[in-house]
Amino acid sequence: MRLIFLGDVVGRSGRKAVLTELPNLRDRFSPDFVVVNGENAASGVGITEKIYHQLRDAGADVVTLGNHSWDQKEALVFIEREPNMLRPINYPAGTPGKGAGLFSAANGRQVLVMNVMGRLFMNPLNDPFAAVDHELSACPMGDACDAVLIDFHAEATSEKMAMGHHADSRASLVVGTHTHIPTADHQILPGGTAFQADTGMCGDFDSVIGMEKTEPLQRFIRGINSARLVPATGDATVCGIAVETDDASGLAKRVSPIRVGGRLEPVVPEFWET
């Protein structure tokens, strides 16, 4: 099975790039299933229903969120009627929406997708490791589903690496989001799970993690918040990861970063080139 995951979509520039490049990636590589993190898609914080549907129409099978899930308050309402949008699973009981789901891929196989949030340097939620264990036990790969994709939205690379090893052999892919900078550690772990500490953002990299540079610089230099942060508007790079799984086990056979457009050096999965 061919899986593609795209990192945090940041603002209008990131949305424009994804709406352009995701259909191209689908046409070029024919992935069976695509997940996009959309938690920064609306003005850099949160997501609206309109933007959610734009991402879905562009080719996202599932849209995941993170710590900005509720910054656009309408998300508290429309998430209840959109089963293909996931917020972190370790929010307290009673939080609107859900954090995991079983979805049908283009080839008819079943994919378990989880959105989980870390606790180091983040607002503390319930234990992410216990939440992952619960879902993997309830829907084991190779039995109840054919692939498992975990979007771990976390600040610390140590916590992200720990989650990768924790889920190794039980998931197809554990990929980090939130810090917006693509890491160079894409790999297949010893148990067969593909991993990358952060897949990077879909946004303008002539910025400070997707935000226009002036205000972040002033905050670092002067220690004063003088204006609100606004997303940078230059050409965006679409950052993601591609994984090919074994049909029998669901474990990863091949993994590659994806970077298309904008300022970063481009890379696509050569093993899918024809």
Please, are residues 243 and 234 in contact by the beta-carbon 8 Å criterion? no
Nearest residue to 245 (alpha-carbon basis) of 189, 184, 194, 199: 194
Amino acid at 193: T
Residues carrying an active site annotation: 68
Q: How many CB atoms lie within 10 A of CB 181?
A: 14
Backbone dihedral region for residue 166 (phi beyond 0: left; psi -120 to 50: alpha; all else: beta): alpha
Structure tokens at 45: 């914080």
R_g (Cα) of the chain, nearest Å:
17
> Which helix (H) or strand (E) segment is 18 a member of?
helix 11-29
Q: Which residue has the tokens 């939080």?
A: 95
Q: Which residue has the tokens 């054919």?
A: 146
> What whole-number distance in Å separates Cα of residue 121 and Cα of residue 198?
16
Please, are residues 175 and 150 in contact by the beta-carbon 8 Å criterion? yes
> Which helix (H) or strand (E) segment is 102 a member of?
strand 100-104
> Which helix (H) or strand (E) segment is 152 a member of?
strand 147-153
> What whole-number distance in Å separates Cα of residue 199 and Cα of residue 185?
10
> Which helix (H) or strand (E) segment is 155 a member of?
none
